[in-house]
Amino acid sequence: MDKSTQYKMFNDPIHGFITVPKGIILDLIDHPYVQRLRRIKQMGLGYLVFPAAEHSRFSHALGAMELAQRILNNLREKDTTISPAEFEGTLIAVLLHDVGHGPLSHTLEFNLIEDFHHEMMTLAIMRKLNREMDGALDLAIRIFTDQYPKKPFLNQLISSQLDIDRLDYLKRDSVFTSVYEGSVGIERILKTMRVYKGNIVIEKKGIYAIENYILARRLMYMQVYLHKTVLSADKLLRNIFKRVRELIASGTDLYQASPSLQFFLENRPTATKGIARRVLEQYLQLDDNDVYQSIKYWQYADDPILADLCQRFQSRSLFRTTFLDGTPNARLKEKVRMKTQKVLQAQGLPHDEAAAQYFYSFDESYSEAYRYENEGIWILEEKDKAVEFSKAADTQNIIALTEPVVKPYVVHLKAFDVKR
């Protein structure tokens, strides 16, 4: 059969075209579990700061799969053998790598299920799909879980310091946020990627593209992912859920939360012993809309604290974030609490200590642009010599930039200035 009818083409502002092979890949894309990702924003609350960053995890998943195709084709051109089954398995693993994300992913991850990480859910969903599809995902799961020692580079494409996930989301997020400084030249990275002794390496002529990639990642953390207003919006959302759980614990009616969300809020499931079937099924019903719909109605809740927090959220009257010079001391914490209580009192809101805790929060942000121990990026300096990026020529100074950055901050009401 003519190959050209075996593909479907989607347009994509990031990669131009996304070519989807018909068969299992297209079936998976149209599966409700993957379609669910259309209703989960890639950047969570980031759209509150970057108005056009409204793109979903679905378009990221498609984009990553397209990159996987380009990379695998490119590796084949460089004489690395990749069988059709391995090709397809890798595509599936990349397509599904984030399928376990829940609503407002990172923000709420720990609020719905205890002892939980979204990778666990991804694997649970992949296994469920595999059962539905009679084992068609066997190889994909082995690659995803790094149980395919024959070709370790396939797993590295899915999870490493230079994985396809990062390549697509950095590029995609920098375009949709229009943060020029975070833009990555993925085309050159793709062109200079190759397999050396079973592992992914970058040819020497790609070294500056890697430097740029690491620095861009650093800037995206600084400017976007850990943006002051994003931090404060995240905290507001978490406090809304903290309040809701407390209200539920005290027997208050939730007033119009979505049924699936209600399941999680009432049952507080845990993933300590794996993910129960009933939890999985409810989880697969959840998406961002459950959260937004609930907040919309909680604006009119009887509880004045919940209502106030949700009204703030709807009108973008967020808290302020103030970065601190060091770990906050008891006196500062006391000061912020008292100022908060005073403002709440003036606004006729509950203002005891317990109430105040919903209106401020001390925390610290953490970012790490590149981790070179154990899992670094390797540069093929000469025909038979690969060195870890931080040890390559011309790059030593870069490493200073990749040390983890920890910044303490406090989120608080705009009515007062923490530093005065």
251: left (phi over 0), alpha (psi -120 to 50) or beta: left
For residue 210, give the nearest of 80, 401, 395, 405 by alpha carbon.
395
Q: Which is nearer to a copy of itself, 349 or 399 (CB)?
A: 399
What six digits make up the tokens of 142? 């082995």
In the complex, the smallest distance separating the C-beta of residue 117 from a copy of itself, rounded to whole angstroms, is 25
CB-nearer residue toward a copy of itself: 158 or 291 = 291
The DSSP code sequence of 176-194 is HHT-GGG---HHHHHHHEE
Q: Which residues contact 128 (CB under 8 A, 6 or more apart)?
A: 33, 280
Q: Which helix (H) or strand (E) holds 242?
A: helix 228-249
Helix (H) or strand (E) holding 240: helix 228-249
Tell me how far, at minimum, the Cβ of 155 lies from a copy of itself, in Å: 22
- Evaluate the CA torsion angle 24, 29, 32, 33 in order and state its sign: positive
What is the nearest approach in angstroms of a copy of itself to the Cβ of residue 353?
30
Place of tokens 């599966």: 31
Chain position carrying tokens 């209200």: 247
Give the residues across from 18 on adjacent strands. 10
Shorter beta-carbon distance to a copy of itself: residue 180 or 366: 180
User: At its nearest, how many Å lie between a copy of itself and the CB of residue 285?
Assistant: 7
Tell me the closest approach of the beta carbon of residue 283 to a copy of itself, in angstroms: 13
Least distance in Å: CB of 79 to a copy of itself?
6
